[in-house]
Amino acid sequence: AGRGGANKIMNLFKHKHKQKQKNQDENQEQNNDSTNDSTTSDIKDNSDHDNDVSQEINNKQQEEDARLARVLQEEEDQQMQQQQLQHNARRSWVSSYPGQRRHGQGLMQGFHPTASTTSNVPRCATCYGMVWGLMPLVVALGNVYHPECFKCIGCHDTIQDGESFASMLDTNGKRYPLHRQCYAELYGIKCTVCQKTIDQGAPYLRHPFFDSEYLCSKHSSRNSCRTCTGCYRFEPLAKPFANLDDDDANRCICDSCLRTVIVDNDDAKPLWEKIINFFQQHLKLPIWDGMRDIPVLVVGYNALNQQQQQMHNNAHGGSSQIMTRGLCLSEHMRGGGGLGVGVGLLDWGNDISNYVSSTSSPSSNPNMTVTAILCLTGLPADLTCSILAHEATHAWMKLHPNFNVNKPIPSQVEEGCCQLTAMLFLTDSGDGDGLEECTSTSSSTQGPSDKKLRQYFKFSIETDSNEIYGEGYRKAAKIYAEIGIEALLSHVVNYQAFPNI
């Protein structure tokens, strides 16, 4: 196209030159007619001279025309090169998610391929066919496609003009386009309960610790789904958790927590022994007389809550975590020698009332007796251990020789110290007295391992926002880091307050 334009310019210059030559000849004839009596030789000399001058002008004009044609051709060649560079730059464009397909025409428009140039023609990334001349094309994901070849790798339907799309990366590093809905089905988050994909931008809830657990808006309201009584993971409709069938609480337990579930008093006895050994050997705390023999009762949900309601000045129930799952029952002697009971009359049936009869356990404090420790049934062993460690701390303080029932310890101080010992037990790796011997180390491909569950129980203590349990634990933990556990607990018993550090 450029060389054709140059030839037209050359023909134009030649036409102008012929017209100029014709005008000069006519002028010459007029000059000859106006000459009076010049000799024949003079006329001939003048004519030759004019011809020479005209030929010289003609040659110079041709040289100038040729030079101008070359300049024009060079400029047009540069424009062609610039267009080719722009086409190549367009081929290197890469879309980002969410992307849009880019449309255009084939590269090198008007170009007629030869055997030496076909290697430079772009090929469709799907069918590997060439994209010629004026053919429509799609430029996306760093590739060129025929419009009919730009298809979703999920449903295999064509992605329409102007439609937003996502992409996936295969193991070889190649990207493939996906409809946004197909991407959500394959890679989007799903409701744990109903397994339906949660639309982008739709509200949902996520488990605070297990980050693969989600609830859609339909199941995020209160009582719309059940949760595991141990780890609070959501129960899927397609694979229900095991029912605990305790009273009317409608509690359930997941497969992971079920591996080490504690259901009766016999299951709890070895765990209590582990707690006593932990206090004595790891925390270096004195074990008061009778503390090792305190009855540990594994009870149902209603029984525990009934007993909790009968306790005076208790803070149980304020925490959303493990504090609603255990109680420490105690009795104290009043000044006149009468018996003051830390809990009301236990009306739970023959089994429990036989355990907490008028028989009292001996202790270093002659005015206090811990009659029993209650723990909720249907919990995994690690969680049960942390509850027993918490309640054992209550018992240790009440049995301390300097404990004064007339000077009650503030709830935040006492519960914070109890949460601290529960955390210490969960954190302890143990060398025979820790969690490794009292829980299973097996894991499940369908749920969290025992180690992951233990991390969640620690997380629950650390992140509890309750003023009594959460803030109390953080204050106790800070002081423990400075003075140790025995100095902390002894100060709390003697002065009913945290020490000033």
pLDDT beyond 60 at 114: no
Q: What angle do CA 442, 446, 451 make, to 5 degrees?
A: 40
Average pLDDT over residues 469-474: 96
**What does DSSP assign to residue 325?**
G
Which H or E run includes 104?
A: strand 102-105
Average pLDDT over residues 155-179: 84
Q: What is the pLDDT of residues 278-290, one digit of tens each?
A: 999 999 999 999 8
One-letter identity of residue 282: H
pLDDT attached to residue 108: 39
Give Dmax over CA atoms of the chain in angstroms: 171
Question: 3-state SS of 326-373?
Answer: EEEEEEEECCCCCEEECCCCCCCCHHHHHHCCCCCCCCCCCCEEEEEE
- Relative to beta strand 339-341, strand 326-333 is antiparallel
How far apart (Å, rounded) are the C-alpha atoms in residues 18 and 16?
6
Band of residue 48 on the pLDDT scale cut at 50, 70, 90 = low
Average pLDDT over residues 180-209: 83
Average pLDDT over residues 430-440: 45
Which H or E run includes 484?
A: none
How far apart (Å, rounded) are the C-alpha atoms in residues 412 and 476?
9
Which H or E run includes 7?
A: helix 2-34
Percent of the chain with pLDDT over 90: 35
pLDDT attached to residue 281: 94
Which H or E run includes 143?
A: strand 143-145
Give which of 184, 186, 187, 218 is closest to 201, Cα–Cα: 184
Q: What SS3 class is residue 413?
A: helix
Q: What SS3 class is residue 252?
A: strand
pLDDT attached to residue 7: 55
Is residue 134 within 8 Å of residue 115, measured between CB atoms?
no
Is residue 483 within 8 Å of residue 501, measured between CB atoms?
yes
Q: What SS3 class is residue 376?
A: strand
Q: What is the pLDDT of residues 306-334, one digit of tens each?
A: 777 666 545 454 444 433 688 888 776 54
Q: What is the pLDDT of residues 22-32, one digit of tens each?
A: 666 666 666 55
Q: Dihedral of CA 435/439/442/446: which sign?
A: negative
Q: What is the pLDDT of residues 472-494, one digit of tens each?
A: 999 999 999 999 999 999 999 99
Q: What is the pLDDT of residues 448-466, one digit of tens each?
A: 999 999 999 999 999 999 9
**In angstroms, how far is CA 67 from the centroid of its own chain?**
68
Q: What is the pLDDT of residues 54-106, one digit of tens each?
A: 677 777 777 777 777 777 777 777 666 655 544 554 443 333 334 444 445 44
pLDDT attached to residue 126: 84
- Relative to beta strand 252-253, strand 326-333 is unpaired
Neighbours of 85 (CB within 10 A): 10
Band of residue 184 on the pLDDT scale cut at 50, 70, 90 = confident
Give which of 449, 316, 276, 299 is closest to 379, Cα–Cα: 299
pLDDT attached to residue 467: 95
- List, in sequence order, every residue forming a beta bridge with 252; answer none if it has no partner: 228, 243
Q: What is the pLDDT of residues 347-381, one digit of tens each?
A: 223 333 333 333 333 346 777 889 999 999 999 99
Give which of 225, 255, 455, 263 is closest to 375, Cα–Cα: 263
Average pLDDT over the chain, rounded to an integer: 75
Residue with tokens 């009273």: 247
Is residue 198 within 8 Å of residue 212, measured between CB atoms?
no
Band of residue 499 on the pLDDT scale cut at 50, 70, 90 = very high
Q: What SS3 class is residue 228?
A: strand
- Identity of the highest mean pLDDT range in 193-207, 245-259, 274-288: 274-288
Give which of 112, 118, 116 is closest to 134, Cα–Cα: 112
